[in-house]
Amino acid sequence: MGSGACAMNVLGSRSSMTGWILGGLLLALSLLSVRLGRLPPPLSWVRRRRKKPVRVYMDGCFDMMHYGHCNALRQARALGDQLVVGVVSDDEITANKGPPVTPLHERMIMVGAVKWVDEVIPNAPYAITEEFMNKLFTEYNIDYIIHGDDPCLLPDGTDAYALAKKAGRYKQIKRTEGVSSTDIVGRMLLCVRERSLGGSHNHSSLQRQFSHGHNQKVDDVGSGSGTRVSHFLPTSRRIVQFSNGKGPGPDARIVYIDGAFDLFHAGHVEILRLARELGDFLLVGIHTDQTISATRGAHRPIMNLHERSLSVLACRYVDEVIIGAPWEVSKDMITTFNISLVVHGTIAENMDFLKKESNPYAVPMAMGIYKKLESPLDITTSTIIKRIVSNHEAYQKRNEKKEASERRYYENKSFVSGD
């Protein structure tokens, strides 16, 4: 080996040594800077030091589940990273409020389908006892217990969330006004009374009252029970909050299903789940109040168009809705939304449209893109209404108790920040 080569080796060794020394100095300076707070720590360190996800808990009966329940769950989820929801048992609801309209297994389907819910606990107690609270903290790793700003009192008059508040593990959200399960049951009870009177004028006035959300007492329409009919004020921000905020990809298989989706229930959820499994993007058409009245009677819908739209938007299987979809699925509509498949369930309020000349699915059928889905549950909006009618007196008593507390809430309410 020549002297030139030896010199190069010596220089290379010195250069390498110098590099190691400089690297060490830079690392030392980096560590010192991190300790002094001047530079952010390496990403790998952040991952190791990152705290566990914040888990929040919210419970409820979730009977006659509606967009108000969904908005409460949305707000609760925003207070943490994971939302665990406790669904109160049928027996506990009966003991504390009166008989539930929807049984536990249906309420579990409804809550589990809300897109902000991560985990569901069945048969949760109505009152959070010390034992159950400790179970939430230890077994379910719950950090905070959430409830709305409306008071939740036990039969003895005590606060159902007193223990959570005392433990400093309670957070409050804003109640969604304009709807409640009590209010919805009251709407149906009104329909039952008005139907028994046989006055077509009263029928149409009630339907308009529900559809437009007029805040009138029942006394105004001649019933005299004092049931409060909600005044729903739709805002563009609420629709944005419930929306997914993104459209289908360029090659997405878009599935379309339409309907009234009145009194959004477990049957609706299950058919939407099946529909979503058939493609990449589920588009749901929601018919207008006028269309539903024309096809299903003057008392329908119980929920107005905006209320029904929010309930459907909150479902995790739904990607987008058409608010006020046309009755007939036209070629232009299929082209506009790039629909690949149109589906309909086997369980519906009225299947006679298939026999008529004005079949709303005639175009997709002719195009070979129509599919009938076997509905997993034999439930319709009429099923829910019949449950109310069959146990009319029990639900009337339940509503009378709840109406008094709701009236006090609205009389004494003050502004609470939140959305």
Domain boundaries, the chain: 55-173, 181-232+388-401, 236-381
Q: Are 230 and 180 in contact (CB under 8 A)?
A: yes
Most confident of 169-183, 362-376, 405-419: 362-376
**195-199, 214-218, 297-301, 395-399: lowest mean pLDDT where?**
214-218
Give 261-299 pLDDT, tens digit per residue.
999 999 999 999 999 999 999 999 999 999 999 988 888
Q: What count of other Cβ atoms lies within 10 Å of the Cβ of residue 11?
A: 10
Is residue 241's pLDDT more than 70? Answer: yes
The predicted structure's pLDDT at residue 353: 62
The predicted structure's pLDDT at residue 390: 79
More confident residue, 376 or 15: 376
Q: Are 314 and 115 in contact (CB under 8 A)?
A: yes
The predicted structure's pLDDT at residue 228: 43
pLDDT band at 315 (very low <50, low <70, confident <90, very high): very high
Give 327-347 pLDDT, tens digit per residue.
999 999 999 999 999 999 999
Q: Across residues 177-206, what is the average pLDDT?
A: 60
The predicted structure's pLDDT at residue 7: 43
Q: Are 256 and 283 in contact (CB under 8 A)?
A: yes
Under CATH, what is the fold of the domain 236-381?
Rossmann fold (3.40.50)
Domains 55-173 and 236-381 share a fold: yes
The predicted structure's pLDDT at residue 408: 61
More confident residue, 407 or 290: 290
Give 69-86 pLDDT, tens digit per residue.
999 999 999 999 999 999
pLDDT band at 398 (very low <50, low <70, confident <90, very high): low
pLDDT band at 182 (very low <50, low <70, confident <90, very high): confident
pLDDT band at 158 (very low <50, low <70, confident <90, very high): confident
Most confident of 169-183, 204-218, 304-318, 377-391: 304-318
More confident residue, 49 or 173: 173
pLDDT band at 5 (very low <50, low <70, confident <90, very high): very low
Contacts of 356 (CB under 8 A, 6+ apart): none
CA–CA–CA angle 50, 54, 56 (5° rounding): 175
The predicted structure's pLDDT at residue 20: 55
More confident residue, 291 or 159: 291
Return the CA Rg of the chain.
29
The predicted structure's pLDDT at residue 276: 98
CA separation for the pair 66, 26 (Å, rounded): 59
The predicted structure's pLDDT at residue 23: 53
The position carrying tokens 């049928």 is 90
CATH 3.40.50.620 fits 55-173, yes or no: yes
DSSP states of 298-344: TT--SS-HHHHHHHHHTBTT--EEEEEE-SS--HHHHHHTTEEEEEE
